[in-house]
């Protein structure tokens, strides 16, 4: 296995920049997922590792070798794609062994490797099946076994589960994790599905518009997103955002104020535009918030739409009285709405007046203009207690 290093990779197609100066390193044996919306440059970046695309600028290293100018077959990588394209007239054994036989491996070595790979992907009883006799998930496992027998330094997987139904996709996620553990393999995985990225990876690289936004373990991206894009992309349903302004009293949004000492928020001052972020699970009904160590002041809202999901319930809240009483107010502006997730047996009806608090330790603040994160958690940014002087607070 080997580590992979991208150094300032840029790929331009004519006027369009598909990948814009991406640098990152995937450690030996690490599972790193490139995630981001369609068109953000995930596949192009991976293709520069595979050798299918030559970067306009930048270098690609596998192990200690600069492979930028090497052909795909000389890079020690194996790829698994969304469309696995098995040979329909060959059985599983022949499909898995095709590449080895092409390279004239002796029969015994071929059999040893195929059996080992089939064992890993749990196809050992299906080696004589034809592709037409297999489910989508089983065919996908043949594709993975075909990559395993090549004994690559690096596995490259581009949306390998995208064609599978939802249940099978979840099952294959666990299989890929097990595979990664058993092979101790370096894996670069591409997906637009943030849940897939969160569950499988050691680290995820969040891309947007051809640029790397954040590369970090899944829970770091979730709990400490580096900017508004990552905050909104990672997590489902998405984080709530409310635009506001820092004042002497705290962060004032259209509908509520979170008391905090603006002088303690790094990088901004009173008068600056700051966006508050809070995840649906960090919004509480005041009556359920007894255990919360650091709640905000009460916010009043009205429940709009309820979505029972079985294990939890999503409650869409309208924060603004004006939302339906003033023609000038657009009720769909994000600052006037808030999504809360509660236990499914919570007694709430649509249209009910509710009192809420936010968990201060889970409030994120972003500089609105740059979208960069300022702080995660505002528990320590409480308004100055009497007796605390500004000098003390500043020092
Ligand atoms: P993703 O995998 O994140 O969906 P891609 O890496 O496939 O994104 O594409 C990134 C951008 O580059 C897109 O805007 C896409 O249209 C463009 N692009 C990709 N391949 C080509 C190509 N061969 N020619 C022109 N533009 C391309």
Ligand 1 site, residue 47, Cβ cutoff 6 A: no
Please check whether residues 208 and 87 belong to one and the same domain: yes
Please check whether residues 343 and 260 belong to one and the same domain: yes
Half-sphere exposure (Cβ direction) of 174: Cα atoms closer than 13 Å: 5
Half-sphere exposure (Cβ direction) of 223: Cα atoms closer than 13 Å: 7
pLDDT in tens, 267-301: 999 999 999 999 999 999 999 999 999 999 999 99
> Which atom in ligand 1 lies closest to the alpha carbon of residue 158?
2
The domain boundary, picked from 201, 232, 263, lies at 232
Q: How far apart are CA 335 and CA 315, in angstroms?
A: 16
pLDDT in tens, 297-347: 999 999 999 999 999 999 999 997 654 544 444 444 457 899 999 999 999
The domain boundary, picked from 232, 254, 276, lies at 232
Closest C-alpha to 144, from 160, 133, 132, 166: 160
Please check whether residues 145 and 84 belong to one and the same domain: yes
Closest C-alpha to 177, from 31, 322, 278, 285: 31
Write down the residue that tokens 């003390």 correspond to.
392
Please check whether residues 161 and 198 belong to one and the same domain: yes
The best mutation among 41, 204, 206 to test binding of ligand 1, ranked by most ligand atoms within 8 Å of the C-beta, falls on 41
Q: How many helices (H) does the chain have, and how many strands (E)?
A: 10, 21
CB atoms within 10 A of CB 367: 18
The domain boundary, picked from 232, 259, 292, lies at 232
- Quick check: 364 and 371 in contact, CB under 8 A? no
- Quick check: 222 and 235 in contact, CB under 8 A? yes
> Which atom in ligand 1 lies closest to the alpha carbon of residue 37?
3
Ligand 1 site, residue 126, Cβ cutoff 6 A: no
> Average per-residue pLDDT in the chain?
90
* Spatial CB neighbours of 210, under 8 Å, sequence gap ≥ 6: 17, 18, 19, 20, 22, 40, 41
The CA 45 to ligand 1 mean position distance, Å, reads: 10
C-alpha radius of gyration, the chain, whole number: 26
Please check whether residues 147 and 242 belong to one and the same domain: no
SS3 (DSSP) at 204: strand
Ligand 1 site, residue 40, Cβ cutoff 6 A: yes
pLDDT at residue 98 tops 70: yes
Please check whether residues 163 and 254 belong to one and the same domain: no
Query: Residue 225 class from Cβ within 10 Å (0-12 exposed, 13-18 middle, 19+ buried)?
Result: buried
Closest C-alpha to 22, from 34, 8, 11: 8
The best mutation among 10, 13, 209 to test binding of ligand 1, ranked by most ligand atoms within 8 Å of the C-beta, falls on 13
pLDDT in tens, 131-159: 999 988 889 889 989 998 988 999 999 99
Q: How far apart are CA 130 and CA 93, in angstroms?
A: 9
Name the residue range of residue 384's domain.
Answer: 237-394
State the CATH number of the domain containing residue 291. 2.40.50.140
Q: Which residues of 252-273 are buried (b: 16+ CB within 10 A; e: fewer)?
A: bbebbebebbbeebeebeeebe
Task: State the virtual CA torsion across 187, 19, 214, 240 in degrees, nearest 10.
Answer: -120
What pLDDT is attached to residue 134? Answer: 92
pTM for the predicted model, two decimal places: 0.89
pLDDT in tens, 5-57: 999 999 999 999 999 999 999 999 999 999 999 999 999 999 999 999 999 99
Please check whether residues 133 and 194 belong to one and the same domain: yes
For 64-210, list the strands marked E by DSSP.
65-66, 77-81, 154-158, 186-191, 203-208
Ligand 1 site, residue 39, Cβ cutoff 6 A: yes
CB atoms within 10 A of CB 79: 23
Nearest residue CA, atom 24 of ligand 1? 13
The CA 78 to ligand 1 mean position distance, Å, reads: 21
pLDDT at residue 166 tops 50: yes
**Torsional sign, CA 311, 312, 314, 315:** positive
Please check whether residues 197 and 61 belong to one and the same domain: yes
SS3 (DSSP) at 123: coil
> Which atom in ligand 1 lies closest to the alpha carbon of residue 190?
2
Nearest residue CA, atom 6 of ligand 1? 41
CA 9 to chain centre: 21
What pLDDT is attached to residue 277? Answer: 97
Structural domain tally of the chain?
Answer: 2
Please check whether residues 59 and 119 belong to one and the same domain: yes
Please check whether residues 80 and 221 belong to one and the same domain: yes
Q: Euclidean distance between the first and final Cα of the chain, in Å?
A: 49
Structure tokens at 37: 């919306």
Please check whether residues 181 and 264 belong to one and the same domain: no
State the CATH number of the domain containing residue 158. 3.40.50.300
Please check whether residues 89 and 227 belong to one and the same domain: yes
What pLDDT is attached to residue 333? Answer: 44
CA 389 to chain centre: 42
């Amino acid at each position: 296995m080997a580590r992979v290093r991208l150094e300032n990779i840029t790929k331009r197609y004519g006027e369009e920049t598909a990948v814009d100066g991406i640098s990152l390193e995937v450690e030996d044996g690490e599972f790193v997922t490139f995630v981001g919306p369609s068109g953000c440059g995930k596949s192009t970046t991976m293709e520069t590792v595979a050798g299918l695309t030559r970067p306009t600028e930048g270098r690609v290293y596998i192990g200690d070798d600069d492979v930028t100018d090497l052909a795909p077959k000389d890079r020690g990588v194996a790829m698994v794609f969304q469309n696995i394209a098995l040979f329909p007239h060959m059985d599983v054994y022949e499909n898995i062994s095709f590449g080895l036989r092409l390279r004239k491996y002796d029969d015994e070595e071929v059999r040893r490797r195929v059996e080992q790979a089939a064992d890993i992907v749990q196809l050992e009883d299906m080696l004589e099946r034809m592709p037409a006799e297999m489910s989508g998930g089983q065919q996908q496992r043949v594709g993975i076994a075909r990559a395993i027998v090549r004994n690559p330094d690096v596995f490259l997987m581009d949306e390998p589960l995208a064609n599978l139904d939802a249940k099978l996709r979840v099952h294959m996620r666990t299989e890929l994790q097990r595979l990664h553990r058993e092979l101790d393999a370096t894996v670069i995985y591409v997906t637009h599905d943030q849940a897939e990225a969160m569950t499988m990876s050691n680290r995820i690289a969040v891309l947007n518009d051809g640029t790397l936004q954040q590369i970090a373990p899944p829970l770091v991206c979730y709990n400490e997103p580096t900017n508004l894009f990552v905050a909104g992309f990672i997590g489902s349903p998405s984080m709530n955002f409310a635009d506001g302004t820092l004042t002497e009293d705290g962060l004032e949004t259209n509908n509520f104020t979170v008391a905090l000492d603006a002088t303690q928020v790094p990088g901004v001052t009173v008068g600056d535009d700051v966006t508050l972020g809070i995840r649906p699970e960090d919004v509480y009904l005041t009556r359920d918030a007894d255990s919360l160590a650091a709640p905000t002041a009460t916010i009043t809202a009205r429940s709009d739409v309820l979505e029972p999901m079985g294990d939890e319930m999503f409650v869409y809240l309208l924060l603004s009285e004006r939302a339906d009483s003033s023609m000038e107010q657009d009720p769909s502006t994000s600052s006037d709405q808030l999504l809360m997730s509660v236990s499914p047996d919570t007694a709430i009806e649509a249209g009910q007046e509710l009192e809420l608090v936010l968990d201060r330790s889970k409030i994120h603040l972003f500089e609105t203009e740059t979208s960069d994160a300022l702080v995660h958690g505002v528990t320590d940014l409480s308004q100055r207690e009497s007796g605390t002087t500004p000098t003390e607070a500043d020092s």
